[in-house]
């Protein structure tokens, strides 16, 4: 679609093919290898005297973060639907995001020349996506091997295509009834967006072409309607006429609604897109270029940016260090063309901006407002990562940091409890590509394994116990004696220590050692080796020896007392519970709910429109750590989900016994 648009518009002289790995937008080695988009790429073109910045985003669910950032700086979302497979779960998700961001929306039914292509059925499915008025702008002439052109319902003209050109032909007789019916729907949709047009339509029953265009422009600008085009990108059928309407109907950046932001005092403000205001731009993508280093892609919302101009990172509150822009580039695929200025509404890139990340706002020093519109999706799949070669631990951490600067949906952390480095991403394909990047770019090979679940230990009752450590070795001995009382704390309070010693039975100089013995034991756990939380500990009695007592003795005594009291206070395990939202075709709802229930999940409800539904549930992390792979199997690749932590809950007794037994077996083995 992108390649065809660039070729038809004369912006490239030869039309590449994805299968041959020579397209403008898919140039990354992993994209060429896998034959699908992984990153957002920029493809500007000129058409009918207007510049159109196309942001080509991945269609694969694992890279939805790229869709989020691209849509945040776009005015129109063009959703390409395959005529063979029709509306997919990702189509629904992208459409919902475009609606949420109040973008004008166009659909393009592609590949109508292929065997098993469908138009009417796919159009109907698109119209069911939401309650917004969705009407056809084109109808196909023929289908599959007979697909030869389109009927433009706006101008009421038919076209055949060869190479880049559109040739007007007569509307086929067998299509005239269908054309009449669909054009009536188009005119009605246009009229509904302008009171004067609606009045004329009621009076005369029709509108002139210029009036139709006026109504459609108004509807697209307010997101009250969306249009459906069709064609074949590989044969350039419909592309030229489609570009005509992109140039004529879709809103310019200056017609965009005010965007949400924050001023220097961190108060919410509305920012109007304007060339007159001081410079501000949103950084929506970071690329590590092998030649110029770090490249920050940005969209200008106000003012303009010129070479040698100084900017600040307005998102870095209180850390506004000035940087001079030495070079400005216009981007086309992997090409960088240096320019002197980027104006309001346009997209550019600047190299080597320090401490600037995706979602940050660069501005003139006089205008420190941050644009707050990028909301990246949560990562849903986690693995423990370890280098294949010993000694590469630091190298792998530094390399992951560099990849995460480009890809903000990739998260990694060192789990203090499990001593593992855990990486989290949007799916197995996403993390597979991260592993490829580690090897290709940084020469680090790594293995992935299931991460340990961060369980917690706690108590449900209360108990007291003595811990007495006494040791004689011939010389100076060791003596420490404490009494501890353990009680439950409200969930989430973690730990509380009370010193109730009276009369000096435990000297104050040994109290820090007692606290250290308790905290070290809590970190290591008692029943299954997991950290202990939500416990109140009181030191209320004890004894000491004037010669043999020491900090070490009291630390050991405190640990002994804590373990005894903990085991007698109804210990239990806690597990992390996740909020899960599963987006699937309606036909899989029963399978998905059944699967979640089998994982001890509690379904909270379902909702959705058309043939796609969302299942909301709360599920233990231990049961759902590999859910991304399972869901793909259940829904044959048509489902996706989001997941976020909500709270800790007690583990059922049978599951707790199994986890505790496994922990003891591992300790003994």
Distance CA 193, CA 211 (A): 11
Q: Which CATH number fits domain 2-171+223-253: 3.40.50.300, 3.40.630.40, 3.90.25.10, 1.10.10.10?
A: 3.40.50.300
CATH topology of domain 573-657: Alpha-Beta Plaits (3.30.70)
Please give the pLDDT value at position 575: 94
Contact 486, 570 (CB under 8 A): no
Output the six-digit token pair for 351.
């190299």
pLDDT at 475 over 80: no
Q: Cα separations (Å) of 59 from 27, 37, 238, 629?
A: 16, 7, 22, 18
Question: What average pLDDT does range 476-488 have in this prediction?
Answer: 93
Segment among 314-318, 556-560, 593-597 with least mean pLDDT:
314-318
- What pTM did the predictor assign? 0.80
pLDDT at 405 over 70: yes
Question: What average pLDDT does range 67-96 have in this prediction?
Answer: 93
Q: Is the dihedral of CA 542, 545, 550, 553 positive or negative?
A: negative
Question: What average pLDDT does range 568-586 have in this prediction?
Answer: 92
pLDDT at 368 over 80: yes
Question: What average pLDDT does range 130-144 have in this prediction?
Answer: 92
Distance CA 566, CA 531 (A): 13
Output the six-digit token pair for 199.
């009045």
Please give the pLDDT value at position 40: 94
Distance CA 290, CA 294 (A): 9
Question: What average pLDDT does range 534-549 have in this prediction?
Answer: 94
Matching residue, tokens 């729907």: 185
pLDDT at 296 over 90: yes
Crossing angle between the packed helical segments 627-634 and 589-598, to the nearest 10 degrees: 150
Please give the pLDDT value at position 474: 66
Which H or E run contains 404?
Answer: helix 393-406
Contact 110, 142 (CB under 8 A): no
User: Which residues make Cβ contacts (< 8 Å) with residue 663, sequence separation at least 6?
Assistant: 527, 528, 529, 530
Output the six-digit token pair for 410.
């990739």
Question: What average pLDDT does range 135-163 have in this prediction?
Answer: 95
Q: Which residues of 424-458 are buried (b: 16+ CB within 10 A; e: fewer)?
A: bbbbbbbbebbbebbeeebebebebeebbebbbbb
Please give the pLDDT value at position 586: 87
pLDDT at 669 over 70: no
Angle, vertex CA 193, rays to CA 192 and CA 199, nearest 5: 55
Distance CA 119, CA 126 (A): 11
Confidence class for position 577, pLDDT limits 50, 70, 90:
very high
Please give the pLDDT value at position 148: 93
Question: What average pLDDT does range 375-393 have in this prediction?
Answer: 86
pLDDT at 311 over 90: yes
Please give the pLDDT value at position 317: 73
The CATH architecture of the domain made up of 461-569 is: 2-Layer Sandwich (3.30)
The CATH architecture of the domain made up of 381-449 is: 2-Layer Sandwich (3.30)
pLDDT at 479 over 90: yes
Please give the pLDDT value at position 609: 66
CATH topology of domain 259-371: Elongation Factor Tu (Ef-tu); domain 3 (2.40.30)
* pLDDT tens-digit readout, 238-274: 999 999 999 999 999 999 889 999 988 889 999 999 9
In terms of residues, how long is the chain? 669
Same fold, 259-371 and 573-657: no
Q: Which residues of 154-189 are buried (b: 16+ CB within 10 A; e: fewer)?
A: bbebbbebeeeebeeeebbeebeeebeebbeebbeb
Please give the pLDDT value at position 644: 83
Contact 246, 317 (CB under 8 A): no
**What is the residue extent of each domain of the chain?**
2-171+223-253, 259-371, 381-449, 461-569, 573-657
């Amino acid at each position: 679609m992108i390649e065809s648009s660039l070729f038809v518009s004369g912006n490239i002289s030869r039309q590449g093919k994805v299968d041959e790995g020579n397209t403008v937008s898919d140039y990354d080695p992993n994209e060429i290898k896998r034959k699908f988009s992984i990153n957002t790429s920029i493809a500007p073109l000129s058409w009918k005297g207007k510049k159109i910045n196309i942001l080509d985003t991945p269609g694969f669910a694992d890279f939805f973060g790229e869709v989020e950032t691209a849509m945040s700086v776009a005015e129109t979302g063009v959703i390409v639907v395959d005529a063979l497979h029709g509306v997919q779960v990702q189509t629904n998700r992208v459409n919902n995001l475009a609606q949420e961001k109040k973008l004008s929306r166009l659909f393009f039914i592609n590949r109508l020349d292929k065997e098993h292509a469908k138009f009417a059925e796919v159009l109907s499915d698109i119209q069911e996506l939401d309650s917004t008025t969705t009407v056809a702008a084109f109808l196909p002439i023929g289908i599959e091997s007979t697909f030869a052109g389109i009927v433009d319902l706006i101008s009421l003209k038919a076209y055949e295509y060869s190479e880049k050109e559109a040739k007007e032909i007569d509307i086929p007789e067998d299509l005239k009834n269908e054309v009449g019916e669909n054009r009536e729907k188009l005119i009605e949709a246009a009229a509904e967006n302008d009171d004067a047009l609606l009045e004329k339509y009621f009076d005369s029953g029709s509108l002139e072409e210029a009036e139709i265009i006026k109504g459609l422009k108004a509807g697209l600008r307010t997101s009250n309607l969306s249009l459906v085009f069709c064609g074949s990108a590989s044969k350039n059928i419909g592309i030229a006429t489609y570009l005509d309407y992109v140039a004529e109907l879709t809103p310019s950046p200056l017609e965009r609604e005010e965007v949400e932001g924050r001023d220097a005092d961190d108060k919410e403000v509305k920012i109007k897109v304007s060339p007159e205001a001081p410079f501000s731009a949103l950084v929506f993508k970071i690329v590590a270029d092998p030649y110029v280093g770090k490249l920050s892609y940005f969209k200008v919302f106000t003012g303009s940016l010129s070479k040698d101009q100084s900017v600040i990172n307005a998102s870095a509150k209180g850390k506004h260090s000035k940087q001079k822009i030495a070079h400005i580039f216009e981007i086309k695929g992997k090409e960088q063309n240096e320019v002197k200025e980027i104006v309001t509404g346009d997209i550019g890139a600047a190299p080597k901006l320090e401490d600037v990340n995706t979602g940050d706002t660069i501005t003139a020093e006089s205008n420190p407002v941050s644009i707050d519109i990028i909301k990246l999706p949560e990562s849903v799949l986690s693995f423990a990562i370890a280098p294949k070669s010993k000694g590469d631990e630091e190298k792998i951490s530094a390399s992951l940091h560099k990849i995460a600067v480009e890809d903000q949906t990739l998260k990694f952390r060192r789990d203090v409890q499990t001593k593992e480095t855990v990486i989290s991403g949007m799916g197995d394909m996403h993390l597979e590509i991260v592993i490829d990047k580690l090897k290709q770019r940084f020469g680090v090979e790594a293995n992935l394994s299931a991460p340990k679940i961060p369980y917690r230990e706690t108590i449900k009752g209360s108990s007291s116990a003595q811990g007495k450590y006494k040791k004689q070795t011939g010389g100076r001995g060791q003596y420490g004696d404490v009494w501890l009382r353990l009680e439950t704390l409200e969930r989430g309070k973690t730990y509380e220590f009370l010193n109730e010693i009276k009369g000096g039975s435990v000297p104050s100089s040994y109290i820090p050692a007692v606290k250290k013995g308790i905290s070290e034991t809590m970190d290591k756990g008692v029943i299954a080796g997991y950290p202990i939380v939500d416990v109140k500990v009181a030191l209320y009695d004890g004894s000491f020896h004037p010669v043999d007592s020491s900090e070490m003795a009291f630390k050991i005594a405190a640990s002994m007392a804590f373990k005894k009291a903990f085991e007698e206070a109804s210990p239990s395990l806690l597990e992390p519970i996740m909020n899960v939202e599963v987006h699937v075709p309606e036909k899989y709802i029963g399978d998905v709910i059944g699967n979640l229930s089998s994982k001890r999940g509690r379904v909270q409800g379902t909702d959705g429109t058309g043939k796609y539904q969302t299942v909301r549930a709360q599920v233990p992390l231990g049961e759902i750590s590999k859910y991304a792979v399972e869901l793909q199997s259940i829904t044959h690749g048509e489902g996706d989900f989001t997941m976020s932590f909500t709270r800790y809950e007690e583990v059922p007794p049978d599951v707790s016994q199994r986890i505790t037994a496994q922990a003891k077996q591992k300790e003994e083995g």
